Chains A and B, each alone.
Chain A
């Protein structure tokens, strides 16, 4: 499953390893987009827990089968 997760603020790409390997892009709107494939819900759960641990503000979460429509 493909996930796109948006959080408040600009996050350094160096967090990739600690955030399920998702790609990290800083956006002009002052937000960061985490995107990529995750194998299952457990992996997503892990990413969300890490976002909570880091005290990041979660703005949105979208999913699609392939990532084409996102």
Chain B
């Protein structure tokens, strides 16, 4: 959400000076060269955004572990972020920043302005232009109108029956309500398909152009939420829209190209949940794999099939009269309709063949008497009559799925683009099956049937040209940055090494957009020798594929795992073959004199084998984690330890690190041991890892810092990560892990309203995307806050939510926690008997402790406290010392020490209490812990009082410790005065009875940049006119933004919107 850059240094072109803004307020202005005030300001700063004359940067101060701090610039392009060293503060002149911004913008230049086929995408988002010869087929247009009474309409017939033309004609009559998408083969990955579909919806005039924005971001993130959660969010957004007078019709043309089962499944889900004002129309050559029978039975499907699409005598006569002069006699038309069976492509072909004939009657006679396949007339009766240059142009362009002047120029080696454009115009006028796709007639496609006929002619007459033509197309698209198109054409040339070269170069851009599946499909097509050569690419693709399935449903995960095993098997086979051919490789390590080449190969094989192991471990590990198979997990420890720090590539380093984190953090409760390793990893990776990898390391680091009792470090890391994610407008779910970490820190610092604010965001996102892990963190955090502030409705909400989640999802991580949470609730409510009953049944064994026992322990102790069984508590604490007082988990140690202090003090063992307290203060004072004391209540207050005069004269404490104790006691006093204080004062506070219902469905307050600007002006009391003047936009636009803002914030007035925004920390 809007954590807009705090400070921004902006060049003002009119004023010719730099302006420094903090939270949108002008703080400083200076001319180039008069920079002393600026440098003064810099001494206080740690980050700012720079918007210079020729480019923008995000600038951060990064501290070195061994002292010193240096500035770095980040520049985010379309898909990757570049980092540049800037130096010390005194070097940070605006001139230096300008130069850096310029050079980083220049580096972006070769990277094209298109995002993986978006340029080509836009021509697919509108119906093709109508053909010159058009018959208005009223009966079918009416049938389509009527079809809108059902949620799905299906036009199913093989090629050339006029489906697309019919839909285009219909779409033209209903322009305001239509969203259109022409599909192609590359859409066979769920991400690409749904991103394209959302792009189509955005084009529809009846829908807002920002619809599905967050869904696209999530779909394209490296670890996307389950596909169906994304679709639910999209459907909700569509539901929310203002009422529509006429239904919105989404038309998907050429659905037969989709073969990916996951897309069919997700589309079936979408149809099932389609909002009432939305309709789906599919045109396809084969019946799609959707639950058609069920929809048919429920009367929710309309079908228009071949028989309805046949041209009757009347329509055929109308059609032919537009192409032929003089017109045919009714008898001739009747015979042609018979011969073609009303197949419009056939009629079109016949008309073209007839155009040039002098002997029409005789030709027709022969044609109608013949059995010849109508498409075969193309070569001898149509192409043969065209001028040589036109024929060649057509044959050569046929390898392209989309045609425009520049790609045709490249492929046909024509002298200029203008010549190609002329050719295209001529072909269109001659009705040679060329379909213009845009108003300006720049982009075309050949009708598929005609294209097939042309390709057949090309393969028979000039087979040697085929690879050359594809090569030209590949080079063209490569230069244009249309990677997917280029790679597809490289595959057609059979020049696999060129295809893999380009894949190697662009693969990251596919990965960062969640399109690992696309790359995997290509890799599986590679012949073996190349697969061996690009084994690294293959395995890294598999890894990215696994990442995309971390949040997926079981079925989706299994299908991904199948694909990953396939990739591993191919690499394994290639390696086996290699060792069969070069037995020396396996004998390798043992022999004395290895040639350098052989040595390199042996090393490379080791890397590949290790990565294959890591991938298999990945699947086993997450399987065991999901089923809570502790034994299996424990047994993997050795394996994992061996793999750590082995690989040199960041993306692979993160794999064993992830296992290690999950085991230490969740399963064994020994997270703190990882701190040195993660600090080192962060340092090592910071310069060369993708944002995904470095954020992942930071996420682990923040959580491990909490376990190590380092609240300040956890807070720093989280804040820094949040800033980075904000700058990159990144993944909300990744962001939320840092919000969780911050919430823990704030909780300990007793800044409960801030903790609750962070968790509020987390809960909103987690329930939107059904992210169970985050949902669990959210409930847990809220429950602690609720108990601390005696907010019973909130506590009930969190407990119920947790219970439902565990029941519904059979979530392996939390079932053991539930009874503990209930016991905490009883304790807080004073139901000591119930809590005591529970505590009596908790056994702390001599052997290994389950993770949940570590959570249960302090609650059991608190039950003893409540019953004033001080000595027993002290004994139990002492017996468990070895498990709880250890550096592997300082968070647990701190609670252990705090409770020991209470128990010993109350049991009258003052000297021991004093010794424990000294350790406790040493750990907690520098990090500012408060709640670990407050949560123990009155007994702790009494224990603390003993350290201050008049109770304690003989023992001198450091003055800072005395101050800390006073601060703690003050916090106790405040808490006793007003237990609910923190939340009542919070701006987000809602009346208790509304809390439960409102929390999970907070308004979707993700604001666009413009809306944020408008919001900020609204907060100053600006009128619409003021806003329009300030932002230099039209008044109606302002009104639109304001109404969107009110909608997003769920507010009914401007004042309410501002106060809601404040409450949500959007202002």
Contacts and interface: CB of A to CB of B under 8 A. Distances in A.
A14 interface: yes
Contacts of B379: 12, 14
A33 to B, nearest CB: 13
29 contacts: A9-B372, A9-B373, A9-B374, A10-B370, A10-B371, A10-B373, A12-B372, A12-B373, A12-B376, A14-B379, A14-B457, A14-B460, A15-B456, A17-B460, A18-B455, A26-B371, A32-B373, A52-B159, A52-B256, A52-B285, A53-B159, A53-B285, A53-B449, A54-B373, A54-B452, A55-B159, A55-B161, A55-B345, A55-B375
A56 interface: yes
A20 B526 CA distance: 20
B463 interface: yes
Given A17-B459, A53-B449, A54-B449, 13 more contacts: A10-B370, A10-B371, A11-B376, A12-B372, A12-B379, A17-B460, A30-B371, A52-B158, A53-B158, A53-B285, A53-B448, A53-B452, A54-B373
Closest A-B pairs by Cβ, 6 of them: A30-B371, A55-B158, A12-B376, A17-B459, A10-B371, A9-B373
A17 B373 CA distance: 17
B343 A55 contact: yes
B159 A9 contact: no
B459 A18 contact: yes
B160 interface: yes
Contacts of B375: 54-55
Contacts of B286: 52
A17 B460 CA distance: 7
Q: Size band of the B side of the interface? A: 20 to 34
Contacts of B374: 9
Interface in A7-54: 9-12, 14-15, 17-18, 26, 30-32, 50, 52-54
A12 B460 CA distance: 11
Interface string A56-67: 100000000000
Contacts of A15: 456
B376 to A, nearest CB: 4
Contacts of A54: 159, 373, 375, 449, 452
B904 to A, nearest CB: 75
Contacts of A18: 452, 455-456, 459
Contacts of B448: 53
Contacts of A50: 452
Interface in B431-482: 448-449, 452, 455-457, 459-460, 463
B580 to A, nearest CB: 24
A11 B373 contact: yes
Most buried by A among B158, B286, B374, B379: B158
Nearest to A30: B371
Nearest to A50: B452
A68 B448 CA distance: 36
Contacts of A14: 376, 379, 456-457, 460
Contacts of B449: 53-55
B159 A17 contact: no
Q: Size band of the A side of the interface? A: 10 to 19
A56 B373 CA distance: 8
Contacts of A30: 371
A52 B376 CA distance: 16
A18 B398 CA distance: 14
A11 B452 CA distance: 13
A17 B461 CA distance: 11
Most buried by A among B160, B286, B375: B375
B252 to A, nearest CB: 18
Contacts of B452: 18, 50, 53-54
Contacts of A26: 371
A44 to B, nearest CB: 16
Contacts of B459: 17-18
A52 B158 CA distance: 7
A32 B372 CA distance: 10
A48 to B, nearest CB: 10
A50 B160 CA distance: 14
B69 to A, nearest CB: 60
A30 B449 CA distance: 21
Interface in B362-412: 370-376, 379
A17 B466 CA distance: 12
Contacts of B159: 52-55
A30 B374 CA distance: 13
B1038 to A, nearest CB: 52
Contacts of A17: 456, 459-460, 463
B776 to A, nearest CB: 45
A32 B286 CA distance: 22
A23 B420 CA distance: 37
B998 to A, nearest CB: 53
Nearest to B374: A9
Contacts of B285: 52-53
B457 A9 contact: no
A55 to B, nearest CB: 4
Contacts of A53: 158-159, 285, 448-449, 452
A11 B159 CA distance: 17
B437 to A, nearest CB: 20
Nearest to A9: B373
A26 B375 CA distance: 15
A26 B160 CA distance: 23
Nearest to A13: B460
A33 B158 CA distance: 20
Nearest to B157: A55
Interface string B491-512: 0000000000000000000000
B160 A55 contact: yes
A50 B459 CA distance: 15
Contacts of B343: 55
A40 to B, nearest CB: 15
Most buried by A among B159, B285, B456, B457: B456
A10 B373 CA distance: 5
A42 B256 CA distance: 17
Contacts of A31: 371
